Amino acid sequence: MSVLKISEVSKIFAGPTVAVDKFSLDVADGELVCLLGPSGSGKSTLLRMIGGFERPTSGLITIDGEDITHQPPEKRPTGMVFQSHALWTHMNVFKNLAFGLKLRRLPASEIKQRVEAVLELVGLAGYGGRGVNQLSGGQQQRVALARSLVLEPKILLLDEPFASLDQHLRERLREEVRDIQQRLKITTLFVTHGQDEALAMADRIVVMRDGRTEQVDRPDIIYREP
Ligand code: ADP
Ligand code: ADP
């Protein structure tokens, strides 16, 4: 069953630059799709349109059959993790995670329970009281992921979340994210320009070029190509 439907979505910036060109894709419930392609191929713009941070010039995006094309980010059942995590450095880890739940007026006991559960999930149990600046880059990205997950999004959107980390850490985090994604069975779109990353993580890979789909296939099929 497809959860996310992207139908003929385009984004044309002034210039004009056609960043995304009549892009269509159906994503199944629980699937992890990697958007792979060179810099400038429209991956980030597409993801931002799904998350509500960029307005499509035309086209339709639905989640569970509901048209969300023009809904603001906070009204969508999506959670986005950016390349630069943008955590609130004046708040400790717990407060970073609790913030969105407080806005939703959840009772304090439930907030505490959900924050602790998600910290455990990302391997940071007991880190709630730490200052964000005391954490390593990898730990900060785990907090950024946790901050999205704690709101229990239907769809997780990851925009090159490990790009600023070294190779070794990237490989570790990629395994962790894949593991978490499978445990939660959360539908996920993952933007990367690294073929190895896409091959290691994806159920399906969408290869993008010039705002369009060049190829969509399972990783083992894409890898077998000459
Ligand atoms: P990718 O994520 O694959 O690197 P982007 O989605 O960032 O690609 O960019 C696709 C194209 O759209 C590029 O030519 C880029 O310069 C252009 N672009 C992206 N954002 C903007 C913007 N806010 N204003 C104008 N052009 C943009
Ligand atoms: P990415 O790493 O995803 O390719 P970039 O580093 O190209 O993103 O862009 C970072 C930010 O600048 C994004 O918000 C993007 O929308 C914006 N941007 C990218 N290209 C342009 C452009 N040609 N004109 C204006 N803004 C742009």
pLDDT digits (tens, 9 = 90+) for 116-137: 999 999 999 999 999 999 999 8
Residue ID of nearest Cα to ligand 2 atom 18: 45
Mutate to test the pocket of ligand 2, among 17, 43, 44 (most ligand atoms within 8 A of CB): 44
Three-state DSSP string of 115-178 = HHHHHHHCCCCCCCCCEHHHCCHHHHHHHHHHHHHCCCCCEEEEECCCCCCCHHHHHHHHHHHH
The CA angle 168-39-51, to the nearest 5 degrees, is 85
Distance of alpha carbon 155 from alpha carbon 215, whole angstroms: 22
**For ligand 1, what atom is nearest to the CA of residue 14?**
25
* Three-state SS at 225: coil
Predicted confidence (pLDDT) at residue 226 exceeds the cutoff of 80: no
Q: Is the pLDDT of residue 3 over 60?
A: yes
The average confidence (pLDDT) of the chain is 94
State which of 11, 13, 34, 212 you would mutate to test the pocket of ligand 1, scoring each by most atoms of that ligand within 8 A of its C-beta.
13
Is-contact 188 158, C-beta < 8 A? yes
The token pair that represents 224 in the structure block: 């077998």
Do the beta carbons of residue 194 and residue 171 sit within 8 Å?
Answer: no
Cα(126) to centroid of ligand 1, in Å?
Answer: 39
% residues pLDDT > 90 (the chain): 88
Question: pTM here?
Answer: 0.89
Retrieve residue 12's tokens. Answer: 């044309």
| Inter-residue contact 180 to 148 (CB < 8 Å) | no
Q: Give the residues surrounding ligand 2 with Cβ less than 6 Å away.
A: 39, 44
Instruction: Give the pLDDT confidence of 180-196 residue by residue, as tens digits.
Output: 999 999 999 999 989 99
Rounded mean pLDDT of 14-43?
Answer: 97
